[in-house]
């Protein structure tokens, strides 16, 4: 019996159109350099 972590589904999952749109709409930059606000602010 396999007792490790099964990551197979992570390699088979396809992003939805909404997920792709969220990636396209995401603000780009480096929060450590102050280019964008932290994600939890």
pLDDT for res 10 = 66
pLDDT at 28: 82
Is the pLDDT score of 32 beyond 70?
yes
Mean pLDDT of the chain: 81
The pLDDT score that the predictor gives to residue 20 is: 94
Find out whether 33 and 39 touch, Cβ atoms under 8 Å: no
Q: Which alpha helices (DSSP H) does 1-41 contain, by range?
A: 8-12, 17-25
Q: Which of 20, 19, 36 is nearest to 28 (CA)?
A: 36
pTM reported for the whole predicted model = 0.49
Q: Would you place residue 17 in the very low, low, confident or very high pLDDT band (cuts 50, 70, 90)?
A: very high
What pLDDT digit, counting tens, does each position of 19-31 carry?
999 999 988 888 7
């Amino acid at each position: 019996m396999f007792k490790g972590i099964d990551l197979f589904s992570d390699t088979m999952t396809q992003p939805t159109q909404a997920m792709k749109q969220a990636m396209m709409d995401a603000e780009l930059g480096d929060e450590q350099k102050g280019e964008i606000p932290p994600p939890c602010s």
